C-alpha cells in the first residue's frame, strides 16, 4: 500500500509541474490543447496507438525508429511533419535522414484515420502521438501531450544538417543546439535517454576507432570501456558494410525503454561520443547519476521533456495545413 501511495504522489507531482509549464506555453500557443480531436475525431489517438502497438509487436525495432523520427522532424523547422515529405531536395532525401524509418507506420495510421475523419488530423500530430505511443509500447511511461499541430508546407534538404545533432558533437555544441529549440541542459540529458531503445549503423560511431594497415579496427577513444569497444569492433569489423551493419544503442536492454542507458554511461558504455560526453562533463554527470539510480525520476522527467520536444516550432492556422497524404503537400 505504501508503495502505491508513493507512486500516486509522484504522478500527482508530475501533473502539477506539467500543468504549470503548459499553462504558460499554451497561452502563447492557444491552438494546442489536450483532446483537441475529442469532437472532430474522437478515435484519432486510439487509432494511432493501435497502429503503433501492432507494428511494434511484429517488429521490435519500430519504437526506436518512431522516436528518432520525431527528433529529426522537430529539430528541423519544428514539429510539422516536414520530414515525411518525399521528393528531390526535401528533408527526407538528405543523407542525414537516410537511415530514418517508421514512415510506413505513420502512413498506416494516417490512412486509418482518414477513413473515419477525412482531412481532420494532421500528420504532425500523428508523428508526435506515434513517438509517444512507441515509448509506452516499449515499456516506458504514459505521456499526455496536447494536439492541434498543423502540417508544414515546405521541406528543404539544406535545413537538415545545420539543425540535427551529429554523434560526435561536444557537449557545448549539443547545449547550443538544444537551446536554439527552447530546450534546457536537463532536457538534453533526459531526452538523450531515447538511446535506451533503437539501433544505429556502425558508421555513426566509427570516429571512435581507426583502421590499422591491415584493415582491423583499433580503439582511439579512451572514454569507451575496453570490453564494450571490443564487442563493437567485432560487430563492425567489415569496412565495406559499416553503413549497413547495425548495433543496439543499449547493449543491455535494447528493446525496453528504461533507465539502463544511464547505467551504461556510468560503465563507460555509451555508444556515441555524444553519449559519453554526458558522463565526462561535470555539468551533466550528476544528472546522469541521478537518473541511473532512479527510474521513476527518469520517467517523470521524460514526460516533461518529451512534451516540450513535441511542441518545438509547431504551426497553426494558415501557417500550416492538414495533409491528405503525409508524404506530400496538398
Kindly report, residue by residue over 117-143, the tens digit of the pLDDT.
999 999 999 999 999 999 999 999 999
Say yes or no: 181 and 258 in one domain.
Answer: yes
The C-alpha atoms of residue 31 and residue 117 are separated, in whole angstroms, by 19
168 is in an annotated binding site: no
Instruction: Tell me which residues of the chain have a pLDDT lower than 50.
Output: 1-10, 24-29
Q: Does the residue 330 lie in any domain?
A: no
When the pLDDT of each residue in the chain is averaged and rounded to a whole number, the result is 91
195 is in an annotated binding site: yes
Say yes or no: 222 and 146 in one domain.
Answer: no
73 is in an annotated binding site: yes
Q: Does the residue 191 lie in any domain?
A: yes
Q: Does the residue 131 lie in any domain?
A: yes
- Residue 301 sits in a domain whose CATH number is 1.10.420.10
pLDDT 10s digits, 75-102? 999 999 999 999 999 999 999 999 999 9
Say yes or no: 199 and 73 in one domain.
Answer: no
91 is in an annotated binding site: yes
Burial 69-79 (b: 16+ CB within 10 A, else e): bbbbbbbbbbb
Say yes or no: 130 and 199 in one domain.
Answer: no
**Which pLDDT belongs to residue 275?**
97
- Positions marked catalytic: 72
Say yes or no: 139 and 207 in one domain.
Answer: no
Say yes or no: 152 and 86 in one domain.
Answer: yes
Say yes or no: 122 and 225 in one domain.
Answer: no
- Residue 92 sits in a domain whose CATH number is 1.10.520.10
**Which pLDDT belongs to residue 242?**
57
pLDDT 10s digits, 203-225? 899 889 988 887 788 888 989 99
Q: Does the residue 68 lie in any domain?
A: yes
Q: How many CB atoms within 10 Å of residue 184?
A: 13
Say yes or no: 138 and 75 in one domain.
Answer: yes
Q: Which domain holds residue 52?
A: 43-159
80 is in an annotated binding site: yes
How many structural domains compose the chain?
2
82 is in an annotated binding site: yes
190 is in an annotated binding site: no
Say yes or no: 68 and 146 in one domain.
Answer: yes
**Which pLDDT belongs to residue 241?**
59
Say yes or no: 239 and 274 in one domain.
Answer: yes
Q: Which of 130, 159, 188 is the last residue of a domain?
A: 159
Say yes or no: 205 and 129 in one domain.
Answer: no
Amino acid at each position: 500500500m505504501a508503495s502505491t501511495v508513493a507512486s500516486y504522489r509522484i504522478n500527482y507531482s508530475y501533473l502539477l509541474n506539467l500543468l504549470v509549464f503548459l499553462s504558460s506555453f499554451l497561452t502563447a500557443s492557444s491552438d494546442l490543447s489536450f483532446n483537441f480531436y475529442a469532437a472532430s475525431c474522437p478515435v484519432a489517438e486510439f487509432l494511432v496507438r493501435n497502429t503503433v502497438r501492432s507494428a511494434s509487436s511484429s517488429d521490435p525495432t519500430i519504437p526506436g525508429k518512431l522516436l528518432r523520427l520525431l527528433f529529426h522532424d522537430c529539430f528541423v523547422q519544428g514539429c510539422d511533419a516536414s520530414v515525411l515529405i518525399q521528393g528531390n531536395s526535401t528533408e527526407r532525401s538528405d543523407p542525414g535522414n537516410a537511415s530514418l524509418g517508421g514512415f510506413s507506420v505513420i502512413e498506416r495510421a494516417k490512412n486509418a484515420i482518414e477513413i473515419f475523419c477525412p482531412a481532420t488530423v494532421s500528420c504532425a500530430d500523428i508523428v508526435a502521438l506515434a513517438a509517444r505511443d512507441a515509448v509506452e509500447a516499449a515499456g516506458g511511461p504514459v505521456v499526455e501531450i496536447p494536439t492541434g499541430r498543423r502540417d508544414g508546407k515546405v521541406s528543404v534538404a539544406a535545413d537538415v544538417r545545420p539543425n540535427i545533432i551529429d554523434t560526435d558533437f561536444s557537449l557545448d555544441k549539443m547545449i547550443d543546439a538544444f537551446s536554439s529549440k527552447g530546450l534546457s541542459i536537463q532536457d538534453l540529458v533526459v531526452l538523450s535517454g531515447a538511446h535506451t531503445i533503437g539501433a544505429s549503423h556502425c558508421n555513426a560511431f566509427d570516429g571512435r576507432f581507426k583502421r590499422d594497415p591491415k584493415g582491423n579496427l583499433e580503439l582511439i577513444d579512451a572514454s569507451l570501456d575496453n570490453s564494450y569497444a571490443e564487442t563493437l569492433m567485432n560487430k563492425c569489423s567489415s569496412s565495406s558494410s559499416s553503413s549497413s551493419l547495425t548495433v543496439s544503442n543499449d547493449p543491455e536492454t535494447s528493446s525496453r525503454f528504461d533507465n539502463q542507458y544511464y547505467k551504461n554511461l556510468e560503465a563507460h558504455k555509451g555508444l556515441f561520443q555524444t553519449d559519453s560526453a554526458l558522463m565526462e562533463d561535470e555539468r551533466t554527470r550528476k544528472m546522469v547519476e541521478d537518473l541511473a539510480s532512479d527510474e521513476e525520476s527518469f520517467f517523470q522527467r521524460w514526460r516533461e521533456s518529451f512534451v516540450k520536444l513535441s511542441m518545438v516550432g509547431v504551426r497553426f492556422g494558415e501557417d500550416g495545413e492538414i495533409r491528405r497524404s503525409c508524404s506530400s503537400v496538398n
